[in-house]
């Protein structure tokens, strides 16, 4: 018999091997360089801002946690595999199937023994690195000095220790499960565990290893179950967040019993490792499962249905009270000052005399509407734009606080069209210019804003100082990146503004600040060429040794990067502070682990018509603090963080994680303090909680007989909440008006039973004062008016319906629509003046097509069941209050350009414009023509339709002619 030897496998040639190794090395180098480029660019950005410590802390923490997680996962898995293999039976008789498995596995055994631990170790490392903030917070935890009412543990235990312990126990459980899995797998492959003939045989070594791992796993589960006792205080129940009567009397004791039982079963597994009998731990495991079902599900169900439901109010009241108290503390609403308010509904002459200061500050320029007007008046070039909506701020003008609407003039490179080249968009069009500021309570004769600051070059009452810096390199709409800067005395290439001296069409400038990483050397140019995927950065001759690259320029984004632990308010606003434009940004610390505090959806709470789809990092929260005020310089992008709430335990812990990144409030200048305001998102969350938690006792909370909600915005086309509004006003009981933010409440009923009547009115003192480093004593003071049920005060929706259905209003709107105009209802403001609640709504008109320039044409006001509709707020108030409101509005000296008006004021008598018989006749002709035209259209009579349409056109033209002539 002859045998044929197997042919030798082809051996790769040395050349191919060298090529393969070379390509692999090149690939590693390329990948490594890209990783290095990304990390180095980040370091340059943080170092330039002076926050490189933040980045180094994050890098260090992630690396330490990755290495720790890798070691904690890989080492036990490696040990489990090695022990199972080395303690295998040498002469075990294996089945043919196992023999075949071993033949397949054996060539890869060494790779598997190292590869499997490394594989799971990498996953463990990434999982641990993702939890670095939880670990670092725990390592830097602080005590709050307040304990929970159930276990008497410090609140800091729930904020810091419970999340850490939960993550640690979850990680250890995963490690032990993987160890158990690989132990069973290796033991089976190498004969330590054999299954056959209706029995399972386990070698002594495998028995010990499996029993010990199983026992350790049960010990970890016992600790996790014990920790679950504390988690009941932060879990959402049927009505409240936190432990209820059933949790206290059944669930928590049940978890204690199960945890102890798990420890006993774990001990039985350890005993099995010694004596070799599996019966006891298996029986114990079965009993553990049964007991967990009995004490964890069955007993709580019985207690709920037999004892709690028939006596729910009595038994649950103490736990509801815990929830009320904790929620008020966690959301900062515990200091709410409530007062009963019996609103007057009769409008009498002189009724607003005691509220003259509030009346003078009523805002008639709606920041959500007049952005197109500001754009048309102040844009100058198409490559500029303004925020929409505008922001709200206040300034001291001649010693008096003036509410304003503001916006920076930012860039809009999309309007460059064919000129939007890399050179132009990166080197020439680099910054916006100036801050536009208009009075909120005044108007011009033609319905436009009255500006305090405007123009190019900028001019006005706010920037008379020679040190004012109008350039905006860092804004909400700045380009993704710009390259600026140059040697002193060099040629200017950046467009400053589209006007020049000596007949020049432009003024150019060169950035002179320190706003971004240097990009003058070849390495940095290569780094940023890769980052922004642009070879122009690498090869452009316009880049010099002094060039800087500005990017990540949105003020909100900059604060989020240097303070990654903060949730940033969605409404940053610009202010002129100490001669520079700065963005003021509010930052929050959040948690979902405050015991007994009610969990709320942050996204839903802050969503309204100004922000219909907010993005948040943590949605479900039950603790919120405005812990940081930040500023971002609009010229050089400098970020300054101020520790606004130094009592916040989360901020105290983060300050230990990131030391020296925050400044105390004492370092805030007086000018900056005068522009600090109460943050919008925090107030929205607080009003969401106060809809239910304005009550103080558990009985009212349980009955839910006085639950409120925020009304929908009556001028919106969809069901979104009405936003809160800033306004200088005086609440009943306040000594003087102050810059405040307010909102209203209606009953929480829904469906056909819903009522749109006012139940509550909430305002917060938003003025931080004007003293350097010192908050005003009443800043953040919440005041609630609880409106007496004896008087029905219409809510925003009901008032808007009254406005829309009033004959005088609807006639005016219909006439304007026929004239190719579009009517825009402004924000519906609610003010507690005259002993009641006054509604004010500006009405704007713009062209329905072409250039849109909303101008203020009318003002609607309502008090009780009466409304007035006039050209100015002053006229409307005087008409509403019997000819003399007793107070002056901001537009009291304006003689508006005449516009079409309607007759009559529902509930008030005639209008001052209703005496012209010819005008009223023309108006009646227009209304009749509209009716006839609609009837003809429905009946399909085209000739009648054409005839009525002609009459309508003639009547409208006659009205417009009479209005222009002043009748």
Q: What is the pLDDT of residues 110-159, one digit of tens each?
A: 787 898 999 999 999 999 999 999 999 999 999 999 999 999 999 999 99
**pLDDT above 60 for 963:** no
- Band (pLDDT 50/70/90 cuts) for residue 915 is very low
Whole-number pLDDT of residue 921: 65
Whole-number pLDDT of residue 197: 63
Pairing of strands 782-787, 337-341: parallel
- Band (pLDDT 50/70/90 cuts) for residue 808 is confident
Q: Span 661-690, mean pLDDT?
A: 96
Query: Which has the higher per-residue pLDDT, 922 or 225?
Result: 225
Q: What is the pLDDT of residues 724-747, one digit of tens each?
A: 999 999 999 898 999 999 999 999
Whole-number pLDDT of residue 819: 64
Mean pLDDT highest for which of 13-22, 162-171, 845-854, 902-911? 162-171
Whole-number pLDDT of residue 911: 37
Angle at CA 762, nearest 5°, toward 757 and 764? 160
Does residue 60 have a cis peptide bond before it, meaning omega lies within 30 degrees of 0? no
**pLDDT above 80 for 8:** no
**Nearest-CA neighbor of 88 among 96, 98, 76?**
98
- Band (pLDDT 50/70/90 cuts) for residue 901 is very low
Give the Cα separation of 389 and 372 in Å (integer). 10
Whole-number pLDDT of residue 111: 80
Give the Cα separation of 965 and 828 in Å (integer). 32
- Band (pLDDT 50/70/90 cuts) for residue 900 is very low
330 burial level (CB within 10 Å; 0-12, 13-18, 19+): buried
Whole-number pLDDT of residue 512: 93
Whole-number pLDDT of residue 402: 94
How far from chain centre, in Å, is Cα 815?
42
Q: At what angle do helices 162-189 and 96-105 cross, to 10 degrees?
A: 120
- To the question of pTM greater than 0.85 for the whole model, the response is yes
37 burial level (CB within 10 Å; 0-12, 13-18, 19+): middle
**Distance set, CA 53 to CA 37, 58, 445 (Å):** 19, 9, 55
Whole-number pLDDT of residue 944: 77
Whole-number pLDDT of residue 913: 37
Structure tokens at 329: 């503390």
**Distance set, CA 139 to CA 169, 172, 173, 502 (Å):** 16, 19, 22, 65
Give the Cα separation of 8 and 6 in Å (integer). 6
Whole-number pLDDT of residue 94: 56
Q: Where are the alpha helices (DSSP H) in 592-648?
A: 602-606
Q: Span 823-836, mean pLDDT?
A: 93
666 burial level (CB within 10 Å; 0-12, 13-18, 19+): exposed
Q: What is the pLDDT of residues 465-513, one digit of tens each?
A: 668 899 999 999 999 999 999 998 888 999 998 887 766 778 999 999 9
Q: Span 799-808, mean pLDDT?
A: 88
Count of beta carbons in the 10 Å neighbourhood of residue 778:
15
Q: Span 156-166, mean pLDDT?
A: 97
Whole-number pLDDT of residue 916: 47
- Band (pLDDT 50/70/90 cuts) for residue 222 is very high
69-73, 634-638, 876-880, 962-966: segment of lowest average pLDDT: 962-966
Q: Are 183 and 193 in contact (CB under 8 A)?
A: no
Whole-number pLDDT of residue 809: 84
**Dihedrals φ, ψ of 576, to 5°?**
-90, 115
Whole-number pLDDT of residue 719: 86
- Band (pLDDT 50/70/90 cuts) for residue 620 is very high
Q: Are 387 and 476 in contact (CB under 8 A)?
A: yes
**pLDDT above 90 for 938:** no
Give the Cα separation of 882 and 890 in Å (integer). 19
The DSSP result for 772-788, as a single string, is TTB--TTTT-EEEEEE-
What share of the chain has pLDDT > 70, as a percent?
Answer: 91
The SS3 assignment for 860 reads strand
Give the Cα separation of 677 and 574 in Å (integer). 12
Q: What is the residue-averaged pLDDT of the chain?
A: 89
Structure tokens at 808: 């005088």
Q: Span 60-88, mean pLDDT?
A: 93
Whole-number pLDDT of residue 945: 75
**pLDDT above 80 for 415:** yes
- Band (pLDDT 50/70/90 cuts) for residue 962 is low
Whole-number pLDDT of residue 790: 84
247-256, 280-289, 421-430, 900-909: segment of lowest average pLDDT: 900-909
| CA-based torsion, 329, 330, 335, 338: positive or negative | negative
Q: Span 98-104, mean pLDDT?
A: 61
- Band (pLDDT 50/70/90 cuts) for residue 914 is very low
Structure tokens at 148: 């929970």
Give the Cα separation of 827 and 813 in Å (integer). 17
Domain positions in the chain: 58-202, 222-323, 361-479, 554-598+623-671, 915-967
Whole-number pLDDT of residue 200: 72
Q: Span 240-261, mean pLDDT?
A: 95
Pairing of strands 471-472, 432-433: antiparallel
Q: What is the pLDDT of residues 186-196, one digit of tens each?
A: 887 777 777 76
Whole-number pLDDT of residue 896: 80
**pLDDT above 90 for 339:** yes
**pLDDT above 60 for 579:** yes
| CA-based torsion, 196, 199, 201, 207: positive or negative | positive
Longest dimension (CA), the chain: 130
Whole-number pLDDT of residue 898: 59
């Amino acid at each position: 018999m002859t045998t044929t030897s197997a042919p030798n496998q082809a051996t790769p040639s040395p050349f191919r091997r060298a090529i393969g190794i070379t390509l692999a090395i090149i690939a590693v180098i390329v990948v490594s360089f890209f990783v290095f480029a990304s990390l180095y660019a980040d370091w340059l950005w943080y170092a330039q801002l002076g926050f490189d410590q933040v980045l180094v802390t994050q890098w260090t923490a992630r690396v330490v946690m990755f290495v720790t997680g890798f070691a904690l996962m890989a080492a036990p898995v490696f040990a489990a595999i090695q022990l199972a293999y080395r303690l295998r039976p040498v002469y075990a008789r294996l089945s043919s199937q196992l023999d075949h498995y071993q033949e397949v596995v054996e060539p890869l055994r060494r790779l598997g023994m190292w590869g499997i631990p490394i594989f799971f170790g990498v996953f463990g490392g990434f999982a641990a690195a993702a939890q670095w903030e939880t670990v670092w917070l725990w390592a830097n935890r602080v005590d709050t000095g307040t304990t929970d009412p159930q276990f008497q543990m410090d609140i800091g235990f729930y904020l810091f220790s419970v999340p850490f312990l939960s993550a640690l126990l979850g990680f250890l459980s995963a490690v032990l499960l993987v160890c158990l899995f690989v132990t069973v797998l290796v033991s089976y492959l190498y004969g330590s565990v054999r299954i056959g003939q209706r029995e399972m045989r386990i070698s002594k070594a495998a028995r010990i290893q499996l029993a010990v791992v199983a026992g350790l796993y049960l010990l970890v589960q016992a600790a996790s179950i014990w920790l679950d006792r504390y988690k009941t205080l932060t879990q959402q129940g049927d009505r409240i967040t936190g432990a209820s009567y059933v949790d206290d009397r059944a669930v928590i004791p049940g978890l204690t019993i199960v945890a102890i039982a798990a420890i006993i079963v774990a001990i039985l597994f350890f005993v099995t490792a010694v004596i070799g009998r599996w019966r006891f731990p298996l029986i114990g495991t079965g009993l553990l499962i049964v007991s967990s079902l009995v004490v964890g599900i069955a007993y709580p169900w019985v207690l709920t249905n037999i004892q709690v439901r028939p006596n729910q109010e009595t038994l649950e009241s103490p736990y509801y009270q815990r929830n009320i108290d904790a929620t008020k503390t966690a959301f900062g609403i515990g200091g709410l000052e409530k007062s009963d308010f019996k609103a007057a509904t009769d409008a009498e002459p002189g009724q607003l005399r005691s509220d003259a200061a509030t009346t003078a500050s009523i805002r008639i320029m709606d920041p959500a509407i007049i952005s197109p007007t500001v754009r048309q008046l102040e844009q100058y070039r198409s490559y500029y734009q303004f925020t929409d909506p505008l922001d709200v701020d206040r300034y001291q003008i001649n010693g008096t606080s003036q509410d304003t609407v503001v916006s920076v003039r930012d860039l809009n490179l999309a309007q460059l069209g064919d000129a939007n080249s890399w050179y132009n968009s990166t080197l020439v069009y680099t910054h916006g210019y100036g801050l536009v500021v208009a009075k909120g309570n005044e108007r011009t004769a033609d319905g436009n804003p009255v500006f305090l600051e405007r123009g190019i070059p900028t001019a006005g009452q706010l920037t008379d100082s020679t040190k004012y810096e109008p350039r905006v390199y860092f804004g909400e709409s700045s380009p993704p990146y710009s390259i600026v800067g140059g040697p002193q005395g060099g040629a200017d290439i950046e467009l400053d503004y589209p006007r020049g001296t000596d007949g020049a069409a432009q003024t150019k400038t060169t950035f002179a600040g320190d706003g971004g990483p240097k990009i003058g050397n070849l390495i940095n140019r290569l780094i940023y060429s890769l980052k922004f995927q642009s070879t122009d950065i690498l090869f452009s001759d316009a880049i010099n040794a002094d060039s800087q690259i500005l990017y990540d320029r949105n003020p909100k984004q900059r604060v989020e990067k240097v303070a990654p632990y903060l949730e940033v308010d969605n409404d940053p606003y610009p202010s002129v502070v100490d001669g520079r434009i700065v963005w003021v940004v509010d930052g929050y610390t959040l948690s979902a682990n405050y015991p007994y505090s009610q969990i709320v959806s942050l996204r839903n709470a802050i969503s309204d018509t100004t922000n219909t789809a907010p993005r948040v990092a943590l949605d479900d929260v039950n603790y919120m603090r405005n812990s940081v005020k930040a500023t971002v310089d609009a010229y050089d992008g400098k970020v300054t963080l101020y520790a606004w709430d130094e009592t916040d335990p989360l901020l105290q812990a983060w300050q230990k994680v990131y030391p020296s990144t925050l400044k105390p409030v004492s370092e805030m200048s007086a000018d900056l303090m005068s522009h600090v305001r109460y943050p919008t998102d925090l107030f929205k969350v607080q009003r969401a909680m106060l809809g239910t938690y304005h009550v103080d006792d558990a009985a009212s909370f349980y009955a839910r007989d006085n639950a409120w909600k925020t009304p929908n915005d009556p001028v919106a086309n969809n069901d979104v909440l009405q936003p809160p509004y800033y306004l200088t006003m005086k609440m009943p009981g306040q000594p003087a008006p102050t810059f405040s933010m307010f909102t209203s409440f209606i009953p929480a009923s829904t469906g056909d039973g819903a009522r749109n009547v006012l139940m509550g009115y909430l305002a917060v003192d938003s003025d931080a004062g004007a003293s350097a480093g010192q908050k005003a004593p009443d800043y953040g003071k919440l005041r609630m008016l609880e409106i007496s049920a004896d008087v029905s005060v219409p809510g925003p929706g009901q008032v808007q319906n009254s406005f829309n259905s009033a004959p005088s209003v609807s006639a005016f709107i219909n006439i304007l629509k026929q004239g190719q105009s579009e009517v825009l209802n402004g924000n519906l403001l609610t003010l507690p003046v005259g002993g009641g609640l006054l509604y004010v709504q500006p009405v704007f008109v713009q062209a329905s097509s072409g250039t849109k320039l909303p101008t203020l044409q009318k003002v609607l006001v309502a008090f009780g069941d009466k409304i007035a509709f006039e050209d100015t707020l002053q006229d409307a108030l005087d008409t509403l209050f019997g000819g003399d409101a007793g107070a002056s509005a901001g537009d009291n000296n304006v003689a508006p350009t005449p516009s079409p008006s309607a007759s009559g004021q529902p509930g008030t008598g005639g209008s001052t414009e209703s005496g012209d018989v010819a005008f009223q006749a023309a108006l009646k002709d227009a209304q009749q023509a509209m009716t006839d035209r609609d009837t003809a259209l429905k009946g399909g009579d085209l000739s009648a339709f054409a005839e009525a349409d002609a009459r309508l056109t003639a009547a409208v033209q006659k009205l417009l002619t009479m209005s222009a002539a002043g009748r």
